[in-house]
Structure 1
Amino acid sequence: MTVDISNLNNILLDVLKELGNIGAGNAATALSQIINNKVDMNVPQVRLLNFSEVDGILGGPENPVVGIYFGMEGDAVGNIMFILDLESAKNLVELLFDKKKESSELNELEISALSEIGNILASSYINSLSQLTSLKLKTSVPAITIDMAGAILSVPAIQFSYVSDKVLFIETEFIEENKYISGNLFLIPDIDSFEIILNSLGVV
């Protein structure tokens, strides 16, 4: 039987929020270990969105952002995007290199570091999903780009618009002393994989 994702009830959102909490907690722990300082997190917002709503979440299609893009492979397939606004990216770079950054421009070393952090954070969520579902899941090598939100979103839109128009959105805010890092994680499974994940979570 095909699952009607649009009509799933609050049980799904409760399960997904738990996924968000566990993944964000693991991500905060990983970030703390990297910068050797305590990182707190705000409880993430978890929503199931239509793909057409995503650029609005990111401030509009012309808003510049840093996007780190992965493929999800294994028992379920899809795309993962970890997207930071430029201010959060700058704050994260300052934490990683432990120095004040005067310019808003990101150099090659800083972009490489952000890519690796995105990889660690995305892996934290995917590992949490894997533990909750007992599915074997992994992420591909990350690709990072700095561009307008609409341009960044065009990649998964083209690839998956014909099989799924639903996106799992997990918004997380990490806090280290007076620095705030707002990260948006988008999980875009194909429609068959969405059903596999939901069945594994016991929702349907």
Structure 2
Amino acid sequence: MAGTYQLETQAADILRELGNIGAGHAATALSELLHTPIAMRVPQVELIPQDEISSVLGGPESLVACVFLQVMGDVEGTMFFVQSMASAKQLISSIWDGEGQGDGISEIGWSALGEVGNILAANYLSALMDFTHLRMLPSVPLVAVDMAQAILSIAFQDERTEGRYALVIHTAVHHRDEQEDAHFFLFPTPSAQDVLLRALGIGGIV
């Protein structure tokens, strides 16, 4: 992708390993909650400039389902668990029988999606905290459906956008012979971005 910051091999490997650790812990938590096997993997982790993020989701006008959280502590920012509507409905349907089959998503379905996003966020942030020794705590999640650009604009309200990058954790959820793709976006505030990158051992972005 043009403009995507190319991580050095070692940094990319570290971030992917952290993502897989978080995904493994999240899969264990979901499996225990739902009493059924769930597996997750992280095929790719990358840093993407703010103005190119919507392209990951199929373009700025693509309809997406999103779980949104604030991140507080030593690193502040916002975090999104984002899926296409088709993937979100498939995930809800595969985990909670009878949900996600109609045209829309029921209140129970939204609650289920919020819980999945909350568990994933907590475990991804825990893996980052263990490695960086920085405190990052998630807020109570909010769930929404809207166009990708409208959803992502929440992260940049009243903030400088120049030079801002998102840490993107691409996630594959495996359950009942199905796979649902999802994306985690961590947007540190401008001041927190350098703190996080230094703690991860990643040099300045040029």
Using the size of structure 2 for normalisation, the TM-score is: 0.87
Deviations 1:85-128 (Å, cap 9, x if unpaired)? 11221122223322364303011221122112211111110111
Q: Which residue of 1 aligns with 2:97?
A: 98
1:3 alignment partner in structure 2? none
SS at match of 1:45: strand
Could you tell me how far 1:61 is from its partner in structure 2?
1.1
2:150 and 2:183 map into 1 onto residues whose CA distance is 16
How many angstroms apart in 2 are the aligned matches of 1:65 and 1:8? 27
CA distance in structure 2 between the partners assigned to 1:59 and 1:78 by the alignment:
24
Which residues of structure 2 form unaligned runs of 5+?
none
Partners in 2 of 1:34 and 1:77 — Cα distance? 29
Deviation, 1:203, is 4.1
Deviation for aligned residue 1:167: 0.7
Q: How many Å apart are 1:135 and its aligned residue? A: 1.4
Q: 1:159 to 1:24 in 2, by over 3 A?
A: farther
What CA distance in whole angstroms lies between the structure 1 residues aligned with 2:202 and 2:186?
18
Distance 2:65 2:159 in 1: 21
Cα pair 2:63 2:145 within 8 Å, conserved: yes
Instruction: Supply the distance in 1 between the matched residues of 2:7 and 2:125 (Cα, whole angstroms).
Output: 22
Q: How many residues align?
A: 200
- For 1:53 and 1:73, the matched residues in 2 are separated by 25
What is the root-mean-square deviation in Å for CA atoms of aligned residues?
A: 2.1
- Do 1:48 and 1:168's aligned partners in 2 also have CA atoms closer than 8 Å? yes
* Residue 160 (structure 1) shift: 3.6
The structure with the greater share of residues assigned to helix is 1
1:67–1:152 contact (8 Å) kept in structure 2: yes
Structure 1 unaligned blocks of 5 or more: 1-5
**Structure-2 residue corresponding to 1:33:** 32
2:99 touches 2:105 (CA, 8 Å); kept in 1?
A: no
Query: TM-score, length-normalised on structure 1?
Result: 0.88
Letter in 2 for 1:36: H
